[in-house]
Amino acid sequence: MKVVLLADVKGQGKKGDIVNVSDGFARNYLFPKKLAKLADDQTIQELKAKKESEEYRKAEEKKNAAALAEKLKGTVLTFKTTGGADGRLYGAVTAKDISDRLQSELGITVDKRKIVLNETIKTVGEYDIELKLYPEISANIKINVVI
């Protein structure tokens, strides 16, 4: 019997897969637990439509991330903070600070989890920061920290 899996089933397949299973397994286990439904024409069409919409959504996200990376190219942000005479800051410049500054100065919303800081910024200087906008798309910006 052909069924469409509604959830991952160990030993059978992943969610959205169309698999062949025995009639008893489908009737006694998969259907009662709502793990699968019969693979008729309507169900297959719904599955195809879902996959197409998911692919379209991912393509749009990738296109938007590429446009954002192009917009961020060459961006320099300056942070004026308080610090000691030796160039060490009293606090630190965090990913949240960078995200907030991008929002306030450029109107660009970037999640703080997408900002990659190799080390904590605790001293005065210039830093190159990478923004992971999409799995294979990233942008680099410069951060200047002054007292």
What are the structure tokens assigned to 62, written together? Answer: 């990738």
Indicate if the pLDDT at residue 22 is higher than 90.
yes
Percent of the chain beyond pLDDT 90?
Answer: 66
- Residue position matching structure tokens 């605790």: 122
On the question of pLDDT at 49 being above 90, the answer is yes
Question: Rounded to whole angstroms, how far apart are CA atoms 12 and 19?
Answer: 7
Q: Are 145 and 79 in contact (CB under 8 A)?
A: yes
Q: Residue 62: CB partners within 8 Å, gap ≥ 6?
A: 134, 137
Per-domain boundaries in the chain: 2-60, 66-146
Span 25-35, average pLDDT? 94
Q: Report the CATH fold assignment for 66-146.
A: Ribosomal Protein L9; domain 2 (3.10.430)
Per-residue pLDDT averaged across 7-11, rounded? Answer: 92
pLDDT in tens, 102-144: 999 988 888 999 999 888 899 999 999 999 999 989 999 999 9
pLDDT band at 37 (very low <50, low <70, confident <90, very high): very high
Report the pLDDT value the prediction gives residue 116, as an integer from 0 to 100: 92
Residue 21 pLDDT grade (very low, low, confident, very high; cuts 50, 70, 90) = very high
DSSP label of 13 = B
Does this model's pTM top 0.85? My answer is no
Superfamily of segment(s) 2-60: Ribosomal protein L9, N-terminal domain (3.40.5.10)
